Amino acid sequence: MAVPTSPVSQEDLYLFHEGSNFRSYQLLGAHVLEVDGRQGVRFTVWAPNAQAVRVVGDFNGWQGEQHKMERVEGSGIWLLFIPGIKNGDIYKYEIQTAEGQVILKADPYAFYAQLRPETASVVYNLNGYQWNDVKWQSKKKKTVNQQPLLIYEVHLGSWRRGENNAVLTYRELAELLPQYVAAMGYTHIEIMPVAEHPFDGSWGYQATGYYAITSRYGTPEDFMYLVDVCHEYEIGVIVDWVPGHFCKDNHGLRQFDGTALYEYANVQRAENKGWGTANFDLGRTEVISFLISNAIFWLDVYHIDGIRVDAVSNILYLNYGREEGDWTPNPYGGDGNLEGAAFLRKLNEVVFAQRPNVLVMAEESTSWPMVSWPTYSGGLGFNFKWNMGWMNDMLRYMEIDPVHRKWNHHLLTFSFMYAFSENFILPLSHDEVVHGKKSMLNKMPGDYWQKFANLRAFYGYWMAHPGKKLLFMGSEFGQFIEWQDHESLDWHLVESPMHGKLQEYCRRLNHFYQQERSLWEVDGNWQGFEWIDCSDYTQSVICFMRKSISPEEMLIVVCNFTPIVHYAYRIGIPAEGFYQECFNSDWEEFGGSGQKNIGILAAEGKAWHNQSHSLEITLPPLATIYLKKIKK
């Protein structure tokens, strides 16, 4: 027999409606607990415009008459405790709308859901897992800007597959993925969205269950185990998070109680026609509680180390992806979504107040100012922003035949004009290797050898450019075809010489990056970077320095984006002394031609490139080299 009332905190209810309950997942949803000595589940749901709400499931033959929920007085919250319901039982809410229509909805706060194509929520107690990452949590540093950050972006369903193309479970992935990522020298993995979603082809970016880890790969405890093992290997875990829009499947959030509840009531603002989704109403306080609580939930419950906020531009702009006349300006006549910007500021203030050591990164593709600046100085409060401008310019540049690159030299250098306006991540993500854009390797011009040489040179430049780094899976060994989400990466390619050598190059480059403080310690201002020469467009060569906080830590970077070897190429250097080539993308073990600078290079007193001294070096074809000052 159902028990109509089960006390919930009036303060929690008040804060939820105020938009300040940042752990509302402890209030709403299905919670296994004991009331008056009886074990059962308390169901709580927000449906303010419903006439009636009933809990239905296998336990009552999907007939809700015996399990009618009671509206909490003065609130849009419905509540019911049902004894005897247990972990693993499936359920939905049967909602009678104001018009008398009866609809079935999954629980917005459910912690688990049925495997697609089934759509019911699953009662799940998340308190059973014993974490083993105390050491990792104690090591996490607040000064993330001055630490190496090298992210490996992963789609769990296609990184590897098992027999008969079966997806690997979270636990199977835990035996393979963290070990590989650590061996390759990455500091973090970024997992494409793992919130429950109905359509595989959305890659998780169109969710129905924001609090439910997708059941495609296992249970919540299985995912916790994967995160735990990553932490054992000292690999941080970032998840993609989508607070801007959600899918319109009937069992999901859209028209939840028969009215626009989670989405805008204004159809023009609610409909995201470009993606076929609905936009969250970011001016509604209960929606703010729902979303910010969800960000905290991933950090609290799954020990996630960061979130990458997807499609921030869709949150910030009223006219994003819309035709003229299909949007209404804000009260000041502009195209900025004031509610969206306020939501993002509040999100970041709450997250960093509670978890100062986490990463909150914005995938933001426009010139909106101060995205990664603190909110107290007028910024949005993220600690990093994806540098989409750099990515677009450089991929365009690299696809140009080297003969014509000299006429496009600005694409190579323009990013340095704004490199320190934000705390940037330089992303080479999944979006760049799908939908006809070609894989990273296949973007490169030239014959077979030149494709690999171009990519190695590009990666060397990318690693030395100010900003943290992100690379999509498969790009480290030269996946030739575009990414396919329904099958494994082509791991067999690693057995062929050039692909294996590219993988080894990326491994060595990653570890070099982690060991070389000048490549990451001062990423956010000009103190960590100095041009030597940016104007040799005729030969498509650039040369610059990266510097650490310590004056002794300095690296000289020279990039040659043509297939011509330059012998006795003179570069300016800031001081006398002895230098040595410490890394070269053209080394033979990486598949290169073997052009290199052997032994010790002595600086000459000949001024060059506005520097007091200079060196003559051999500059390999389609290559990036690093030089370092050494003791005599």
Catalytic residue status for 11 = no
Q: How does strand 424-428 pair with strand 468-472?
A: parallel
Q: Is 82 exposed, middle or buried (0-12, 13-18, 19+ CB in 10 A)?
A: buried
- Among 12, 240, 263, 310, the active-site one is 310
- Each as own residue / partner, the long-range contacts of residues 550-553 (CB below 8 Å, 24 or more positions apart, any chain) are 550/517, 552/629, 553/516, 553/517, 553/518, 553/521
Question: How far is CA 104 from its chain centroid?
Answer: 33
Residue 526 neighbours by CB under 8 Å, 6+ apart:
420
DSSP class per residue in 395-430: HHHHHS-GGGGGGGHHHHHGGGGSTTSS-EEEEE-G
Report the alpha-carbon distance of residue 89 to residue 85 in Å, rounded: 7
Report the alpha-carbon distance of residue 338 to residue 627 in Å, rounded: 48
Report the alpha-carbon distance of residue 178 to residue 468 in Å, rounded: 20
Question: Residue 28 corresponds to which tokens in the numbers above?
Answer: 């709403």
Report the alpha-carbon distance of residue 384 to residue 391 in Å, rounded: 15
Report the alpha-carbon distance of residue 309 to residue 240 in Å, rounded: 6
Report the alpha-carbon distance of residue 296 to residue 138 in Å, rounded: 19
**Which amino acid, residue 32?**
V
Task: Identify the sign of the CA torsion 428, 434, 435, 437.
Answer: positive
Please state, in angstroms and as integers, the Cα–Cα distance from residue 606 to each residue in 30, 585, 610, 632, following that order. Answer: 75, 28, 10, 20
- Among 363, 393, 516, 523, the active-site one is 363
Report the alpha-carbon distance of residue 473 to residue 234 in Å, rounded: 19
Residue with tokens 């495609």: 216
Nearest to 67 by CA among 98, 97, 93: 93
Catalytic residue status for 399 = no
Element of type H or E holding 556: strand 554-560
Q: Other C-beta atoms within 10 Å of 322: how many?
A: 17
Nearest to 124 by CA among 92, 170, 94, 90: 90
Please state, in angstroms and as integers, the Cα–Cα distance from residue 123 to each residue in 86, 484, 629, following that order. Answer: 7, 33, 61
Would you name the residues annotated as active-site residues? 310, 363
